[in-house]
Amino acid sequence: MENRLALIGIIVENVESVEPLNRILHEYRQYIIGRMGIPYRARDIAVISVTMDAPSDTISSLSGKIGMLNGVTSQVLMAKLNG
pLDDT in tens, 60-82: 999 999 999 999 999 999 997 66
What's the predicted TM-score (pTM) here?
A: 0.91
pLDDT in tens, 35-61: 999 999 999 999 999 999 999 999 999
Given a contact cutoff of 8 angstroms between Cβ atoms, the answer to whether 4 and 78 are in contact is: yes
The answer for residues whose C-beta is within 8 angstroms of residue 25's C-beta and 6 or more apart is 32, 35, 50, 62
Query: d(Cα 35, Cα 20) in Å, to the nearest integer?
Result: 16
Q: Where are the domains of the chain?
A: 3-80
> What pLDDT, on a 0 to 100 scale, did the predictor assign at position 1?
73
pLDDT band at 83 (very low <50, low <70, confident <90, very high): low
2 pLDDT above the threshold of 90: no
**The architecture CATH gives domain 3-80:** 2-Layer Sandwich (3.30)
Given a contact cutoff of 8 angstroms between Cβ atoms, the answer to whether 80 and 22 are in contact is: no
